Structure 1
């Protein structure tokens, strides 16, 4: 049976005032894959990008040395055919395959070294992946050796993160990219990456229109197995209902952010949905360094606010129970989480702690992205937090923002509460310490302290993190459990919901799966 399809080659789907506009075509466009999602792109530069959309884009365009198998735990070869690690996890040697970039030039050790140095020195959001890298050398054209400054049992896992995808160094340098020590200032290539790509992956960037459309074209010179689709179009549809409607009518092939409740409302026999647990989570973050908050948002006050939240009710309120609670900023199922005790609401204790701190009439402002992430509407989520805080006498003003404004105001400390989300970059708990840990120089210390790191730094965490990275197995897991407990005690990052993930696609699409490193592996998807 034939059905009407949308013009995927020109304007797959645009939303304006809640209406859907599309241009019909007569030609068969089965060679194009259309994906609906609310795009959260902050950059398309591999060294600066840091978002869910970025994950599957970078995975499709730039290849990593190793990647994650479908079991979401096992590392398998990618650009590296094999690797060696010394006994104390300080030296890592990779032996490269005979791969080539999209311009036909070979992927060599020099490209790998340049990519990792640039990732480290640009000092973008994913630069923490290269923390501790002190030496990178080419043993020969196809062998590269890295040395880190201290034992790091997660370095292999780190290089499966999509942000470590290897860049064609010569092409990028020609566009103004730099891997030098001063790359954070000298590198001028970010805007170039919004219009071009320089990877070895099965796809290349075709066009990008911010908050509208991301379009990929098949790399016809790809050295590996060719992907099934000549073109992939990611089109902006912000809400779950809109995505579901587009999926049911055949306007899109895959919808990435349908929540479980919306999935139950889909009646089309041409749509397949599967609900699976995820490692993703949404959270609120406290910012004691925000303007006027240094003597207000103390640890006792933060802990009281954490006690005010109705975590069970939050699950029902946001995702209709289709998810899980999460104790610390370590995803359920990751090393160290089995021994953590879930947070529980305690209104009376919260009130007592606020009174003891002299903050019974506390007034806060929460600035957060106005978006729907993993089927969680952030406005609904924050309304629930607002209600829970009101139960202990805390007034909180909600300030939904565009992503661009949110990023600017976050760095300036404009408000003391925010809400964000996190998806894993690889399988391993170390990344959460490197991002959320209250360790000097780490990303969330800078966010929460806003230049006053002493407000939030927890010296115990640095020692525990070193222990975790210097060990493996049970010893490492025990250290991560203690780190989780410390981060819970800090009460800076408060996970609210770990939503189940809905895989939703047309019935003629196969190969759709959830990846803990790469979100949605586009090269594995085909049409039946």
Structure 2
């Protein structure tokens, strides 16, 4: 009856919100989440590149090695039970664990690993760049990943250590798919991409029962999961864009978790039966200027902007408890972070910088922003503080998917957005914020530099790649700190804050894990006592 109960609950949750509440509390064995999920563009692990899609992929799929719910700071065995690295030969050999199966019942084989990793390279969609760093191409990937018996040997090219490679292979696009099931659903050579954007073929702790874009996600526990069946029988993630509605549903007992409450709403929650947990996050929030817009190309604009952000005003009010001031691209708390915050709100200084550079004001700039809190509130704060210096923002709100798509197309002028590392190595963010060796429109790159059309100086490009290959650990981290300082001083990307994530939940919920990035959101340890 478990699946019938899930279906009935899902049906109830899509009733109009104006209808009377149907439940005093959610059913036992079912976790119901209210969350804004309209940023999802794709859920195929070879294409998924949004925050919410990352959460979904993590709960549906496994990787050879992975950061797991039990300790998100430790790189642990996944579908591989062990591995052996040979830095001289630039190979890592993985031994697959015995008895692992996909949700379909098919056994996990070395062939699935070869298929899955090669599929990402051959499809060459947004997150493929994470794996192509290893020197893999559509032409050579079949020779770079080979199998013998129950082992898979991964070869890589590049002047970096095996530790970097392991972090790459623990990232989202390295998720292993059921090659038999995916091949059965491939159409016109698409490697099953269309099908996997509506379905799932993983071995993870949960099975995808239903995905309705910008409406509902329904998961059920994978009873055969190698790490043990999840404690909760099913998870329903209901798309609720309005934070006020999320709060109402939580207080009424119609949902167990509210994922997007504002600081004011967190403060106003009735303590009776509701608790709030705070999770440090790796995401950094920034304001950026597209260098295709002529009025935004003068470095004096970039410098002045750094003194026109009311950092303390925002962290004391509209983003209190959700963000802290951080002005460098690698998040605080991780090795290699640069934690100096030299910029404060100083409109008079900003005006002087613009005047000294001979920049005529007023300047009118469109500012794209996700139409949800706290982003709209942050945009209004920026609009007010920048107006003091004659830079006038016209705010253009949109759904998460609309804003991100526009950003990828380089059609914005100014953008208020956030960035999380693709894997837990400082090169992940360094390549996004301090590297762009080909700024042409034809050379799409999933980086903030390319998307803002910033032609990074050759010297900085070289230093970014040199840090990647540096063998001495501390020297390498210092190189990244120096890069952060330089980007902080002069770039069209103004990094302002680091996220801290607050989740309000029923007091009976335990075991929810929300790690530093969206790839580390886990439901498999959740229980309702």
Scaled by the length of structure 1, what TM-score is found?
0.87
- Is 1:170 paired with 2:174? no
Q: Deviations over 1:131-158 (max 9, x none)?
A: 3223532241422222222133422122
Whole-Å Cα distance in 1 between the matches of residues 90 and 300 of structure 2? 39
Distance 1:360 1:311, change over 3 A: same
Cα displacement (A) at 1:311: 1.5
* Corresponding residue of 2:441: none
The one of 239, 249, 252 equivalent to 2:252 is: 249
Q: Tell me the alpha carbon deviations over residues 64-102 of structure 1, each in whole angstroms, 9 at most, x when there is no partner.
A: 122225554321111111222233694322221121111
Deviation by residue 1:486-509 (Cα, 9 ceiling, x = unmatched): 322342332233232213221222
Match of residue 57 from structure 2: 58
Per-residue deviation, residues 168-220 of structure 1 (Å, max 9, x unmatched): 12222222279xxxxxxx52633312332111112111111111111112233
2:239 to 229, 232, 236: 236
Report the equivalent of 2:128: 127
Q: Is residue 266 of structure 2 the alignment partner of residue 266 of structure 1?
A: no
* Partner SS, residue 365 of structure 1: strand
In the alignment, is residue 391 of structure 1 matched against residue 373 of structure 2?
Answer: no
Cα contact 1:325–1:342 (8 A) shared by 2: no
Q: 2:190 matched to which residue of 1? A: 187
Query: Could you tell me which residue of structure 2 aligns to residue 181 of structure 1?
Result: none
Q: In the alignment, what sits opposite 2:449?
A: 445
1:312 and 1:15 map into 2 onto residues whose CA distance is 41
The answer to whether the Cα contact below 8 Å between 2:216 and 2:237 also exists between their aligned partners in 1 is: yes
Paired residue secondary structure (1:480): helix
Alignment match, 2:105: 104
In the other structure, the counterpart of 2:497 is 497
Q: CA deviation at 1:8?
A: 6.0
Which residues in structure 2 correspond to 1:286-365 (within 5 Å)? 286-289=289-292, 293-294=293-294, 296-320=296-320, 323-338=323-338, 340-355=340-355, 356-365=357-366
Q: Does the residue aligned with 2:127 lie in a helix, a strand or coil? A: helix
* Corresponding residue number in structure 2 for 1:459: 458
Taking the aligned partners of 1:505 and 1:379, their CA distance within structure 2 comes to 24
Is 1:307–1:343's contact at 8 Å kept on the other side of the alignment?
yes
1:36 is matched with 34
Q: Secondary structure at the match of 1:154?
A: helix
Change (3 A) 1:205 1:482: same
Distance 2:18 2:285 in 1: 29
Partner residue of 2:442?
Answer: none
One of 145, 154, 163 as aligned partner of 1:137: 145
Contact 1:7 1:24 in 2 (8 A): no
In structure 1, distance between residues paired with 2:23 and 2:157? 58
Question: Contact 2:257–2:506 (CA<8 Å) still a contact in 1?
Answer: yes
The alpha-carbon distance between structure 1 residues 466 and 413, as it changes in their structure 2 partners (threshold 3 A), is: closer
Contact 1:7/1:23, CA 8 A, preserved across alignment: no
For the structure 1 residues 360 and 433, does the alpha-carbon distance in structure 2 shift closer, same or farther, using more than 3 Å as the test? Answer: same
Cα deviation, residue 412, structure 1: 4.2
Contact 2:284/2:420 (<8 A) preserved: yes
Going from structure 1 to structure 2, the CA distance change for 1:103 and 1:494 (only over 3 Å counts) comes to same
Moved more, 5-14 or 333-342: 5-14
Corresponding residue SS for 2:201:
coil
The 3-state SS of whatever aligns with 2:261 is coil
1:362–1:102 Cα change, 3 Å: same
Q: Which runs of 5+ in 1 are unaligned?
A: 179-185, 450-454
Deviation at 1:513, TM superposition (A): 2.2
The 5 Å alignment of 1:5-16 reads 9-14=9-14
Inter-partner Cα distance in structure 1 for 2:396 and 2:335: 35
Q: Distance in 2 between matches of 1:119 and 1:48?
A: 8
Higher mean Cα deviation, 473-482 or 7-16? 7-16
Structure 2 unaligned spans of 5+: 439-444
Q: Distance in 1 between matches of 2:215 and 2:276?
A: 25
SS of 1:332's partner is coil
Q: Is the Cα–Cα contact under 8 Å of residues 109 and 142 in structure 1 kept in the other structure?
A: yes
Change in CA separation of 1:318 and 1:282 when aligned onto 2, cut-off 3 Å: farther
Query: RMSD of aligned C-alpha atoms?
Result: 2.8
Counterparts of 1:287 and 1:15, CA distance in 2: 42
Alpha-carbon distance change, 299 to 120 in structure 1, aligned in 2, over 3 angstroms: farther
Partner of 1:520: 521
Could you say if the C-alpha distance between residues 467 and 246 of structure 1 is closer, same or farther in structure 2, counting changes exceeding 3 Å?
same
What is the aligned partner in structure 2 of residue 366 from structure 1? 367
- Residue in 2 that maps onto 1:511: 511
Deviation of 1:426 (Å):
3.5
Which of 427, 431, 435 is matched with 2:432 structurally?
A: 435
